[in-house]
Structure 1
Amino acid sequence: MKTNLQAMWQREGSDVSVRQRLYNVLRQAIIRMVLAPGQALSEKEIADLFAVSRQPVREAFIRLSEAGLVEVRPQRGTYVVGISRQAVLEARFIRESLEVAITLEAAKGTLSESVLMELNELIERQRSCIERQDHDRFFFLDEMFHRTLAFSTGQVMAWNVIEDVKAQLDRVRYLSIPDSTPIPKLADQHQAIVDAIAASDSDAAEKAMSVHQREILNSLPELERRFPDLFAGVGLAAPARST
């Protein structure tokens, strides 16, 4: 676990503040199950691992709590919570609503040829992950695809809202790759979105994005059956005291 966290810390880079870097690394570690539900987190251990003071770690824990990823219990400790099915469904609803609106904006013909080319290149890079079974890389490129689409239509605030609410949803998305939702299927859905946007076909663009955003509804029941211990409602081990 420590090796994985340190590798994620190095990949995150130092071009952001320590507080933001800590939050990004811990958030991704929880989403990717490096830090699993029920796992206790220690301010001191995290601070020592990354050679930082305990204050930014404490602040990161608070932000993670607000995102619904950890629970902070005074005098008892901080631990990773299980995936909340209700939080996943609510985040999915919000994300679909915003991303459909973004896609409809893009289908008005506002995207330049260079942006369309960039989106298609991202899809090709996603497809290159299939043979290598590089699920982490695909997950990153999937994020880049949706972020690029939002930013290219000038909807930065909408993307920030999506980022704020989708932490629980991302945990299920990560679990669903590759078995429940294979990479080729997701890449094909991305292609359908771009093709509809390029054709300025609003109806097709709306449908393609809705189908894509509802894909998780198909995989969620299967994931709950396969990974019951990762979902909220199971008996989690009592968290260790923070030190």
Structure 2
Amino acid sequence: MFTREATVDQINIVTSGNSTAQQVYAWLHGRILRGELEPVARLSETEIAHQAGVSRQPVREAFIRLTATGLAEVRPQRGTFIDRISIKAVLSARLIREAVESDLIRMVSAHPGDALLDQLDEQLAAQRDASEKQDVEAFIALDDRFHHSLAVAAGHGDVWDVLEGLKSQMNRLRYITARVFDHQKLIEQHGAIVQALREGDTDAAEQAMRLHLREVLNDLPEIAAAKPEFFTE
């Protein structure tokens, strides 16, 4: 086990409707999900406060929130560390997503409409472009936008917001796999979903969605074997 200190970049805290602690939390949360702060790295309260130009109190509050969401852990007399990726949490989030999104895609497939199909086609083109540029952050954002668009089209955009709150651990894995594996398979799976919608084939659309969301079951064992120090059961 290693306990290297996590390095941080400058963060600009701005006056907004969000508290300073919320802004620090959102910044750290994003960096953990993107893998910029790796599992078991130590978070320095003093360093982060210095980089953010804030007192230690909002940083301490942000650490508490990270711990509550399972992204950090406090080790007595040692400090706060980025928690490992929970395999159980990843698998649970995947199971919930499949159950929910397979229903959503069936709702959409009844009457997808040309506007939605055009929107999804544009998103697929943007995904291909992001993949060619090896822009992992853009690619994952576009992946999320694709699924969000389907939830909105089904009349349940709020459901996606609920799912987003459940899949932090899955998102951490997604950033790792997006840097390691070819994006083409995911793009093709999205394409199969769109094609099924275009053909009005409800069963094919649901099957394509389930296949897509089960891809993590193929990726997870390989990544966990390659980086065992990043994961916990």
Shorter-normalised TM range: 0.7 to 0.9
Give per-residue Cα distances to partners, 1:69-112, cap 9 Å, x unaligned.
Answer: 11134664221111111111111111111111221121121x44
Q: Which residue of 1 aligns with 2:63?
A: 61
* Structure 1 counterpart of 2:148: 147
Corresponding residue to 1:2 among 2, 8, 28 = 8
Letter in 1 for 2:27: V
Matches within 5 A, 1:45-194: 45-73=47-75, 76-109=78-111, 111-180=112-181, 182-194=182-194
Structure 1: gaps of 5 or more residues? 234-243
TM-score using structure 1 length: 0.83
Aligned-pair distance for 1:167? 0.7
Higher relative contact order (CA 8 A, sep 6+): 1
Q: What aligned pairs does 1:164-243 form with structure 2 within 5 A after superposition?
A: 164-180=165-181, 182-232=182-232
Describe the shift of the 1:226–1:98 C-alpha distance in structure 2 as closer, same or farther (beyond 3 A).
same
TM-score (norm 2): 0.86
Matched with 1:24 is 26
| 1:185-218 Cα shifts (integer Å, max 9, x gaps) | 1111111112222333210111011000000100
The alignment covers a number of residue pairs equal to 226
- 2:8–2:48 contact (8 Å) kept in structure 1: no
Deviation at 1:43, TM superposition (A): 3.0
The separation in 1 between residues aligned to 2:208 and 2:30, in whole angstroms, is 28
Percent identical among aligned pairs is: 43
User: Which residue number in structure 2 is paired with residue 37 of structure 1?
Assistant: 39
Greater Cα shift, 62-71 or 205-214 = 62-71
Query: Residues 195 and 66 of structure 1: is their aligned pair in 2 closer, same or farther, counting only changes over 3 Å?
Result: farther
Q: Which runs of 5+ in 2 are unaligned?
A: 1-6
Kept in 1, the 8 Å contact 2:85–2:169? The answer is: yes
